[in-house]
Amino acid sequence: MCSQHRFAFWCDPPFYSDNIARMQNKGFEELSHGVLPVQELRHFAAKKWIVAERPIRPGQFQPSSIDLRLGAKAYRIRSSFLPQRRKVSQTLKELKMYEVDLRDGAILERGNVYLIPLLERLELPAGVRGRTNPKSSTGRLDIFTRVITDFSHRFEDIGEGYCGGLYLEVVPRSFTIKVKTGLALNQLRLFRGKAMIDDVELAAMHGRKPLMYRDGAKRVKPLISDGLFLSIETHTVRSHKIIGYMAKKNSTVIDMLRTGHYLTHDFWEPIESPRENFLILEPEEFYIFASKERVRVPLDCAAEMVEFDAGSGELRTHYAGFFDSGFGDGAVRGTKAVLEVRPHDVPFRVEDGQLFFKLRYEKMAALPDMSYGLDIGSNYHNQELKLSKHFKAG
């Protein structure tokens, strides 16, 4: 079955004709490498290279990714794992404690490890690989998720030509949550060939039109090394002085299907700008902050937030990492990134403007036919410091 799909893929070049015209008649070879755009993801679904137990909905498609949905059952397991030389289902038999039926909604308890088969599965053509990441709302609720595939020795990475199921490991860290079959907690990005934009190219892009701003329209000279470095904001000129939030313990259940429903103060402790020029973060607490800079992802690029390695392992600086094409590329010059932060082992001192993470830019294989923001009704378009969509504004 997979070999037939691979043959069909390479025999179907007319799919690219519209995008070749849109990309100013550049050559096919140049277009074919990079992050696959939304119209090609739709094509993959039509060809059954992305297939699901339930029909794939139009709303699952983003400019450079597709949402993946929870299946009918969750399995409470004893520990996290990687299958290595086995299928996921084989290891699951050894670690399964009990099943949870998700079809009518079910509770996932804080601190427990669950494995959930996803509705989608892949029959990828030769030369196409994938990577997954939590959705923004998932990361902002401190829900630790990562995809596992058969015979894999790495989380999140999906090998070239992979044929098989997708399984999501879910660990609610701060809040007990309610989920249901069909809910999307994470997303998939597909690649062909070399996608990453190197430092020389990235600097040239910034020179043509800035990828980073401060204070609205102020241009910034970026630090570039295997990506674009960004920093944390701990001082603000906003009247309310709130620069972050810390998750409260022992809150009530959050129903992941409700939006604009919960009161912020029931779940979060606001953090104001410190009187000193620094802030101390407590170990194993979960924080939400904003970047000091506003960033822009052009339509012909996608980006991924990656951890800045301070060499200590004492800090986890993000959970959700995908930035779709067109993020911050509208009328407003750039959009702030939201940081999910959890210190480990010891208290950690941070100050305003301290380097905290970086964006790794990747080229698109073709221009997507829609952009992040108003085109897809994003909850985080032109965001400042913002909690997940489940909380009431204001």
What is the full DSSP assignment across 253-322?
A: -EETT--S-B-GGGTEEEEEPPSSSEEEEPTT--EEEEEEEEE---TTEEEEEEE---SS--EE--S--E
Average pLDDT, integer, range 20-32: 42
* pLDDT band (50, 70, 90) for residue 22: very low
Residue type, 151: F
Give this prediction's pTM: 0.88
Quick one: pLDDT band at residue 320, thresholds 50, 70, 90? Answer: low
Within 13 Å and on the Cβ side, how many CA atoms surround 51?
14
Residue the block writes with tokens 């699952």: 60
Residue 317 has pLDDT above 80, yes or no: no
Q: State residue 239's pLDDT score.
A: 63
- Amino acid at position 135, single letter: K
Confidence of residue 8 (pLDDT cuts 50, 70, 90): very low
The percentage of the chain sitting over the pLDDT mark of 90, rounded to a whole number, equals: 69
Say how far apart CA 383 and CA 389 lie, in whole Å.
Answer: 11
CATH superfamily placement of domain 42-192: Deoxyuridine triphosphatase (dUTPase) (2.70.40.10)
Q: Kindly state the average pLDDT of the residues 111-115.
A: 97
The answer to whether residue 11 scores a pLDDT higher than 50 is: no
Domain boundaries, the chain: 42-192, 199-376
> On the CB side of 389, how many CA atoms lie within 13 Å of its CA?
14
Is the model's pLDDT at 219 over the cut of 70?
no
Is the domain spanning 199-376 CATH 3.40.50.1970? The answer is no
Q: What is the DSSP string of 224-241?
A: BSSSEEEEB-----STT-
Query: What's the Cα-to-Cα distance from 233 to each of 212, 221, 278, 332, rounded to whole Å?
Result: 15, 17, 11, 19
The answer to whether domain 42-192 and domain 199-376 are alike in fold is yes
Question: CA–CA separation, 185 vs 171, rounded Å?
Answer: 12
Using the structure block, give the residue that is written with the tokens 């911050």: 328
Per-residue burial over 195-226, b = 16 or more CB atoms within 10 Å of its CB, e = otherwise? bbbeeeebeebbeeebbbbbeeeeebebebee
Report pLDDT digits (tens) over 30-75.
448 999 999 999 999 999 999 999 999 999 999 999 999 999 999 9
Across 12-16, 75-79, 319-323, least confident range: 12-16
